[in-house]
Amino acid sequence: MVYLSAGLDILIVALFIYGLMALLTRSRYTFVFNGLFILGVIYITAYFLELQLTLTFFKYLFGFLVLGLVVVFQEEIRRFFEVISFWSRWRLSRDKRAELRAVTQVVEALVSVVMRLADQKIGMLVVLRGREPLLRHLNGGFDLNGELSEPLLQSIFDPSSPGHDGAVVIEGNKVIKFGVHLPLSQDFDQIKQYGTRHSAALGLAEKSDALVVVVSEERGKISLARDGALKTMKSEEDLQKDIKKFLNEKFQLGEDKWGFLMANWEYKSLALATSVILWFIFY
């Protein structure tokens, strides 16, 4: 019983540490995370070597550090609790798996429209929702809840359509909203050579786990925004491959039972090791 409670204790803390690591390392403040890791190593070393001056310094530094982290990472902290709340309600039933497999069947329709609009140099912005909530990041737009199809997307992004300048939000195999405005990115190093659509795509990719497909109106170039990074597509095959990869990773479609455990195994191993060390320190 003692070993079971200890193992459960370590696992719960490891899950929280991994969640924080996954969010913070995707933010623009990754250097802060690296600094915190170094401070943690110094503190653990001081604890085992009984360096009283260093421990006293950390004791008074801790309060200011927590306050600073709350200010700097307020967006990430809010997102962290959103994710916890969402996962507490999310279940992947057999019906859900069937629905998600149906999504892969409409990938070809989406890719076909993207390639056609890129050839015509018509701007396009499509959001594929991941697992995290998106509502608070979206502004304006029109509710639709229509089944995804080539004619529907073609009509929405027709230059004469009232919602063609906004984004389409896809959830499952449904277009749930169109004409939506997305948050703009402040990462000027990535968006300096692009326009507003790319800034909006990257802005949402920084704040959520969504995949955003964007077509440039000026050059007809196709890009994907995901996990705070923009990637230019070189071919139709690359676009289709990356969209399918996104669906597979977010919903484990067609993966073996070890797929989730192996994803981001470096962070998971580090989180587990950190949790074990903390358990031995405090107990």
Nearest to 115 by CA among 150, 156, 164: 150
| Model pLDDT, residue 29 | 56
226 and 106 assigned to the same domain: yes
Does 55 share its domain with 110? no
What pLDDT sits at residue 57? 83
List the domain range (segments joined by +) for residue 72. 2-90+264-282
In a domain, 61, yes or no: yes
Are 205 and 238 within one domain?
A: yes
- Are 7 and 115 in a shared domain? no
The pLDDT of residue 206 is 87
Joined together, the tokens standing for residue 58 give 């950390």
Note whether 212 and 152 are same-domain residues. Answer: yes
Handedness of CA 219, 222, 225, 230 (dihedral sign): negative
**DSSP assigned state of 127:** E
Q: Which of 83, 34, 49, 28 is nearest to 205 (CA)?
A: 28
pLDDT of residue 213: 95
Are 9 and 143 contained in the same domain? no
Of 243, 216, 218, 229, which is closest to residue 103 (Cα–Cα)?
Answer: 243
Question: Has residue 215 been placed in a domain?
Answer: yes
Task: Judge whether 24 and 271 are in contact, CB under 8 Å.
Answer: no
Which positions ≥6 away from 82 have C-beta within 8 Å?
132, 133
The pLDDT of residue 169: 94
pTM: 0.65
* 82 shares its domain with 134: no
- The predicted pLDDT at position 103 comes to 67
Residues 27 and 100 in one domain: no
Nearest-angstrom CA–CA distance, 250 and 238: 18
User: Can you give the CATH number for the domain in which 124 is found?
Assistant: 3.40.1700.10
Decide if 257 is inside a domain. no
Within-domain flag for 16: yes
Query: How remote is the C-alpha of 102 from its chain's centroid?
Result: 22
Q: How far is CA 167 from CA 127, 130, 208, 248, 259, in A?
A: 7, 16, 15, 23, 31
Of 173, 179, 181, the residue nearest 200 (C-alpha): 181
43 and 66, same domain (yes or no): yes
Cα-Cα-Cα-Cα torsion 21, 186, 32, 77, nearest 10 degrees, comes to: -50
Looking at residue 135, its pLDDT comes to 84
- Please give the average pLDDT of every successive group of 10 residues along the chain, which has 283 residues: 73 76 60 74 83 83 74 64 53 52 73 92 91 84 88 90 88 88 89 88 89 90 91 91 83 51 66 79 69
Domain count within the chain: 2
Let me know whether 41 and 159 are in one domain: no
Q: Is 258 part of any domain?
A: no
- Does residue 104 share a domain with residue 195? yes
What is residue 212's predicted lDDT score, i.e. its pLDDT?
95
- 148, 175 Cβ separation under 8 angstroms: yes
Single-letter amino acid code for the residue at 82: E
Instruction: Report pLDDT for 232.
Output: 92
Residue 39, domain member (yes or no): yes
Shared domain for 218 and 126, answered yes or no, is: yes
Does any domain span residue 13?
yes
